Amino acid sequence: MVTVPFKHSNSIVIAAPAEKIFDYVTNPKSWPEWLPSSHEIDCENRPMGFGDTFHEHWSTRSGRVDLDWVVIAAERPSLWIGLTNTSFIGPVVVHYSLEPVEGGTRFTRIVRNPQRPRAATEDQVRRIDEEATLGLANIKKNVEGR
């Protein structure tokens, strides 16, 4: 079976230290606060570290999806990577990187699907980008407001 790798990246500068942002975004309990497709998370209310697992109830245009995640990298405050598998697009890798910049911290969220069964359509990429842009704006608002 031929697969098509997919990668999409979005970033934003947040006026806060990297540690504060890292602790917020790596606590999956915060995800429904900023990510529209994430609805319920089953885990402890804390940042997830290397080897931690958690369960997410996620929605797509086709309906509800249950995802089991494992953290495959966690280097506070600069790097966090989570991995899950889906039946419809294969593995999903979410990568957060944080770097100090003038005015705060640049937070970058990269989503990869290394083995998609088919290429993402222009409409799918547009929707992914819209949700990511909204999510990053929500993170900025929520972290700067705390």
Q: From its phi and psi, is residue 63 left (phi > 0), alpha (psi between -120 and 50) or beta?
A: left
The per-residue pLDDT for range 78-120, each reduced to its tens digit, is 999 999 999 888 999 999 999 999 999 999 999 999 999 999 9
What is the CATH number assigned to the segment(s) 4-144?
3.30.530.20
The domain locations on the chain are: 4-144
User: Which amino acid, one-letter code, is at 112?
Assistant: R
**33-42 average pLDDT score:** 92
Question: Residue 44 — very low, low, confident or very high, per pLDDT cuts 50/70/90?
Answer: very high
pLDDT, mean over the chain: 94
What pLDDT does 39 receive?
87
> pTM of the entire structure?
0.94
Cα–Cα distance between 94 and 86 in angstroms, integer? Answer: 13
Residue 92 has a CB neighbour count (10 Å cut-off) of 19
Which of 35-39, 54-58, 108-112 shows the lowest mean pLDDT across its residues?
35-39
**26-53 average pLDDT score:** 95
Q: Is the pLDDT of residue 16 over 90?
A: yes
Q: Is the pLDDT of residue 63 over 80?
A: no
**10-19 average pLDDT score:** 98
What pLDDT does 37 receive?
87
